[in-house]
Homo-oligomer: A and B are copies of this chain.
Amino acid sequence: MKFATLKDGSLDGRLLVVSRDLQRALAVPHIAPSLLDALQRWPAVQGALQAAYDTLSAGPAPADSFAFDPVACAAPLPRSPQWLDGSAFLNHGRLMEQAFGTPPIPHFDTVPVMYQGASDDFLGPHDDVPLPNPADGIDFEGEFGVVTGPVPMGVSPEAALGCIRLLVQINDWSLRALGPHEMKTGFGFLQAKPSTAFAPVAVTPDELGSAWREGRVQLRLQVQWNGERFGEPHGGEMGFHFGQLIAHAARTRRLTAGCIVGSGTVSNAARSAGSACIAERRVIEKIDLGDIRTGFMQYGDRVRMQAVFEDGRPGPFGVIDQRVVAAPAAG
């Protein structure tokens, strides 16, 4: 199944079922008003949602369906109970340690690292990104993520894979000038992580076919900055699978339905894949070329992200395409 959320002025938005080809959409308030509500009552609504999806995808288009417009969409979950972001691409983590000059993270290969992000105010796929200061080192981070059902405290990595309800594509906005200080405090990222953005469509894992494999999203994430190719790293190189990340998050807490667990920046060891964030390109420049040549984003800059299958077909999540703007002055 494919889902999106129409902006309607409410905190959770209006659930849309989206056709397999991403052309048509259908509101289903008689089944669930919002995606969060559907996730909270998943066993009760899953069958009806599947039937609506099958009908919409098979054609002819139901009379109450309409053209799917990603620009009118919020994040699939405009707010979520928790947003827990790992750093599971070990290549990225190792490069970033070099970038920040921080000591090696202990047990980095065997214990996931993860921070808790704000989950009450996500950005939609085409929303502008208001930020207070270009000197903060504005950066994008292309990621994949999963949306969970209820997860008990102490779940095993294998059982956690069974708690995955949906897959999502993420742009984890980051402010690189603020990150190193927050890492040094030991309290973790806060100001360095403003509102996170999501591609319009959340999908059940079966939509990926064999590209959902080994608990990983086996797609390339194509990233463009101001219309130029930036990278297309592959999601299969995650050092931990999503079941391991969920189990890490749930070690001392339960997760309620709708929690989102992220992969961290998609990153490949092969230099030819490019990068999914500017910070990584900068440290590669320093290592390979001897000096940093790329600056961070400025107001007016755009970033575009789209997942693609290995044969080049577009992935199921739709497109993130955002512009950085100056935040309005506080009143």
Contact in complex: B132, A187 (CB < 8 Å): no
Q: Does A204 contact B (CB under 8 A)?
A: no
In the complex, 28 of the A-B residue pairs with CB atoms within 8 angstroms, ordered by the A residue number, are A81-B119, A81-B120, A82-B119, A87-B187, A103-B184, A105-B184, A105-B186, A106-B184, A115-B116, A115-B188, A115-B190, A116-B118, A116-B189, A120-B256, A131-B252, A132-B251, A136-B252, A153-B330, A154-B330, A155-B330, A159-B330, A182-B188, A183-B187, A184-B186, A186-B186, A186-B188, A191-B253, A192-B252
Q: Once the chains bind, are B154 and A253 in contact (CB under 8 Å)?
A: no
Q: Determine whether the beta carbon of A154 is less than 8 Å from that of B181.
A: no
Residue ID in chain B nearest A248 by CB atoms: B191
Q: Top 5 closest A-B pairs, CB basis?
A: A188-B188, A183-B186, A81-B120, A154-B330, A152-B330
User: CA of A254 to CA of B327 in the docked complex: distance in angstroms?
Assistant: 10
Most buried by B among A121, A132, A254, A330: A330
CB distance from A115 to the nearest CB of B (A): 4
- Contact, CB under 8 Å: B191 / A188: no
Q: Please give the count of copies of this chain that the complex contains.
A: 2
Q: Interface digits, A194-229 against B, CB 8 Å rule (1 contact, 0 not)?
A: 110000000000000000000000000000000000
Q: Is the CB of A189 within 8 A of B188?
A: yes
**Does the CB pair A114–B187 fall under 8 Å?**
yes
In the complex, A100→B103 CA distance in Å?
A: 17
Contacting pair A154 B132 (CB below 8 A): yes
Residues in chain B near residue A175, CB distance under 8 A: 252
Say whether A46 faces chain B, with CB atoms less than 8 Å apart. Answer: no
Whether A327 touches B154, Cβ cut-off 8 Å, given contacts A105-B185, A190-B115, A252-B175, is yes
Chain B residues closer than 8 Å to A113, beta-carbon distance: 185-187
CB under 8 Å from chain B, chain A span 82-119: 82, 84, 87, 102-103, 105-108, 111, 113-119
The reply to whether A190 and B136 contact each other, CB–CB distance below 8 Å, is: no
**CB distance B188 to A154 under 8 Å?**
no
A156 in contact (CB, < 8 A): yes
Complex contact A191–B102 (CB within 8 A)? no
The complex places the Cα of A273 from the Cα of B159 at a distance, in Å, of 47
* Additional 17 contacts, C-beta under 8 A, given A111-B181, A116-B190, A152-B330: A81-B120, A82-B118, A105-B185, A105-B186, A106-B184, A115-B187, A116-B116, A121-B254, A132-B154, A132-B251, A132-B252, A152-B331, A186-B186, A186-B188, A187-B189, A190-B249, A194-B252
Contact status B132-A153, CB under 8 Å: yes
Distance from A61 Cβ to chain B, minimum over Cβ atoms (Å): 36
A87, A175, A182, A250, most chain B CB atoms within 10 A: A182
Q: How far is the CB of A292 from chain B (nearest CB, A)?
A: 21
- Chain B residues with CB below 8 A from A155, complex form: 330
| Nearest-CB residue, chain B, relative to A250 | B330
Bound Cα distance A189, B190 (Å): 12
**Does A130 interact with chain B (Cβ within 8 Å)?**
yes
Q: Is A170 an interface residue (CB 8 A)?
A: no
Q: Decide if A79 is an interface residue (CB 8 Å cutoff).
A: yes
Q: Does A329 contact B (CB under 8 A)?
A: yes
Q: Is A71 an interface residue (CB 8 A)?
A: no
